[in-house]
Structure 1
Amino acid sequence: MSLDHVNLSKLDLNLLVAFDALMTERSVTRAATRVGLGQSAMSHALARLRTMFGDELLTRGPDGMRPTPRATALILPVRGALAQIAELTLRDDAFDPATSDRTFVIGMPDSTEVLLVPALMAHLQATAPGVKLLLRSIDRLRILQDVDDGRIELGIGLFEEGQTHHKRRLLHKESYLCIFNAALVGVEPPITIEDYVRLPHVLTSLVESAHGVVDDALAKIGRARTIALTSPRFTAVPFVVKQAPVIATMHSKVARFFAEALELAVSPAPVILPDVQVSMLWHSSFDRDPGHLWLRSTVRKLMDVHPPSLNLWLNREDDFLSV
């Protein structure tokens, strides 16, 4: 198909950038912030887009702005075209961390934020003071959609599925430890299976389910536990364990971190639990993006650090599994 250069010359590519931001944020105000425009300018861009495509594109519903069927059909083609244009214009030296003011959108659970982000921010302030991070909570059941929609540029966690345009890199494998207040529960490590199933448990679950990998492992040996509390927040659990006679099973790095900080006991779990693989995940459109390459390399190097004390706020990683 030959190009219609006359009509293409009339097209303002900035409108496609505005379209992508509007479809990602579903809000004129947030879309304006995302691309560095004023709200009135983004409203004007939306009006021009509606004229250009002959469609409302965004309509107001009970839960906020929602795309029309026409807009939904345009999202992937427009995003793909913008990615190709960006790839054509990028050069290997197009990103300088020392002078960049780019904002990266990263999705991670709160436990990852506690262990990784302080060290990452210290590194950025020393080497890339203009670079900003926008952190978002992550849901492993919709992470692929969030990456496709541009809501998250880089995810860190457990990713079991994906299509060919979903790129991932393994960061490390993680195991589990039990964490508890030995004085309150009256148990010293290592904990036995009898004490393990006798004590009430605290479960972290991001999928609104009071069932985790521990329950699957116990079922295999004909045992079961009592779950006294289920919470979506990893970082709240150690504080519960500190004050209540309960036990939690957490990924080993975050368990050791909080055990040291709160003077809690840790013990290997008395049941066989599967290791998990923690990875970075991103869309292929960012694969050769110099800034994104720099970010992934920076995260990977920080994750490889083995500091002498957890007080340095970084040792590696935990993840999303319900335990």
Structure 2
Amino acid sequence: MRSIDHIDLSRFDLNLLVAFDALMTERSVTRAAVRLGLGQSATSHALARLRALFGDELLIRGPNGMQPTPRAMDLMEPVRSALAQVTSIVARDDAFDPATSDRTFVIGMPDSTEVLLIPSLLAHLRETAPGVRLLIRSIDRIRILQDLDADRVELGIGLFDDGGLQHKRRLLHRDSYVCIFNAGLVGVEPPITIEDYVRLPHVLTSLVESAHGVVDDALAKIGLSRTIALTSPRFTAVPFVVKQAPVIATMHARVARFFAEALDLTVSPAPILLPDVSVSMIWHASYDGDAGHRWLRDTIRRLSDSRPPSLNLWLSKADEE
């Protein structure tokens, strides 16, 4: 372990690291000043001192505002990790009391997860943590790591690839794909055949504005393709479309069965081999030891393990098939 030079550190203002983190998060001296509770001139002075300290411009003006230099990007994660460790040292581990806290948690998730999780989570919070508030944001699995690093989102829930060393991830549950359709409109009863599957027009949900999904990859492997009638970024809109139009959708089983029960739709196993999916929580390592954040993660995990009563019948039938 590298030894600590106490004399050198005594000459260094550690608040500069706080200013650096705010500047990197906001990419604006004005907004960073607001975040820090300082005047704009004081924040500009802190940026000048940081530039002198690191021998780099750190932030330069561009057509889209201030942009970090490569050196600043290299410094961002070590600085944030150092600040998180300092925070965990000076903060009491038992400082979070859900019964009295008025904290706001920023959570990113797709609407399909929101409709299954948030009603039970909010009901639980109103009983045990009435002052706690949730701010839900839509997320893109491609940008979620950037959102976590910039502290725009404190916790992500969904389908995520592995992050960097600064990201923590915990599996909530695994899910599979099923087909959902209005049997009366499409004239098909389960189990749907591959012939009917490729004959019927499909509704595709895509968060990346692409009319291509995991189903298309699976069909291509057996030399088949499908017709996509509609592509939407909103998972929860799809069952309402399926209810009124002679189309079919392939969705995650939990949300599909939830809406099938509510809207009197039909669920069928997919006639092609599709990979199971893993729904996880992901967060920045700086929140790992945060007592409030840990309480929220544990609460979400427990609620995810318990199935809503209205889904029990569907899931028990699926387990028997």
TM-score when normalising by structure 1 = 0.84
Asked if the contact 2:20–2:50 (Cα under 8 Å) also holds between the matched residues in 1, the reply is: no
In terms of mean alpha carbon deviation, does 260-269 or 18-27 score higher? 18-27
Residue 34 of structure 1, CA deviation: 5.8
Task: Report the equivalent of 1:283.
Answer: 284
SS in 1 for 2:309: coil
1:40-189 matched pairs, under 5 angstroms: 41=38, 43-54=40-51, 58=59, 61-68=62-69, 71-189=72-190
Across the aligned residues of Structure 1 and Structure 2, the Cα RMSD in angstroms comes to 2.6
Residue 184 of structure 1, CA deviation: 1.7
Task: Report the equivalent of 1:318.
Answer: none
SS in 1 for 2:11: helix
SS in 2 for 1:115: helix
Residue 61 of structure 1, CA deviation: 4.1
Change (3 A) 1:151 1:212: same
SS in 2 for 1:169: strand
Q: 2:253 matched to 1:252?
A: yes
Q: 2:19 matched to 1:7?
A: no
Residue 199 of structure 1, CA deviation: 0.2
Residue 68 of structure 1, CA deviation: 4.8
SS in 2 for 1:280: strand
**Take 2:194 and 2:48, find their aligned partners in 1: how far apart are those partners?**
67
**Take 1:32 and 1:301, find their aligned partners in 2: how far apart are those partners?**
39
Asked if the contact 1:182–1:188 (Cα under 8 Å) also holds between the matched residues in 2, the reply is: yes
Residue 80 of structure 1, CA deviation: 2.0
Asked if the contact 2:112–2:255 (Cα under 8 Å) also holds between the matched residues in 1, the reply is: yes
Q: Deviations over 1:246-268 (max 9, x none)?
A: 11000011111122222222111
SS in 2 for 1:309: helix
Residue 209 of structure 1, CA deviation: 2.1
**Take 1:141 and 1:156, find their aligned partners in 2: how far apart are those partners?**
13
**Take 1:122 and 1:7, find their aligned partners in 2: how far apart are those partners?**
51
**Take 1:287 and 1:238, find their aligned partners in 2: how far apart are those partners?**
37
**Take 2:221 and 2:47, find their aligned partners in 1: how far apart are those partners?**
58
Q: 2:172 matched to 1:209?
A: no
Residue identity opposite 1:92 in structure 2: D
Residue 212 of structure 1, CA deviation: 1.4
**Take 1:42 and 1:176, find their aligned partners in 2: how far apart are those partners?**
53
**Take 1:123 and 1:24, find their aligned partners in 2: how far apart are those partners?**
32
Q: Deviations over 1:231-254 (max 9, x none)?
A: 222122112212211110000111
Task: Report the equivalent of 1:319.
Answer: none
SS in 2 for 1:295: helix
- Structure 1 unaligned residues grouped into runs of 5+: 316-323
**Take 2:178 and 2:18, find their aligned partners in 1: how far apart are those partners?**
46
Asked if the contact 1:28–1:42 (Cα under 8 Å) also holds between the matched residues in 2, the reply is: no
Instruction: Count residues in correspondence.
Output: 305
Residue 106 of structure 1, CA deviation: 1.5
In terms of mean alpha carbon deviation, does 41-50 or 182-191 score higher? 41-50
Residue identity opposite 2:208 in structure 1: V
**Take 2:31 and 2:111, find their aligned partners in 1: how far apart are those partners?**
23
SS in 2 for 1:100: coil
Q: Deviations over 1:263-322 (max 9, x none)?
A: 2221111112111111111222222221111011010011011232159xxx9xxxxxxx
**Take 1:31 and 1:258, find their aligned partners in 2: how far apart are those partners?**
44
Residue 58 of structure 1, CA deviation: 4.9
**Take 1:293 and 1:120, find their aligned partners in 2: how far apart are those partners?**
15
Residue 103 of structure 1, CA deviation: 2.3
TM-score when normalising by structure 2 = 0.84
**Take 1:138 and 1:300, find their aligned partners in 2: how far apart are those partners?**
19
**Take 1:45 and 1:260, find their aligned partners in 2: how far apart are those partners?**
59
Asked if the contact 2:193–2:271 (Cα under 8 Å) also holds between the matched residues in 1, the reply is: yes
In terms of mean alpha carbon deviation, does 73-82 or 278-287 score higher? 73-82
1:22-33 matched pairs, under 5 angstroms: 22-27=23-28
Task: Report the equivalent of 1:297.
Answer: 298
Change (3 A) 1:5 1:221: closer
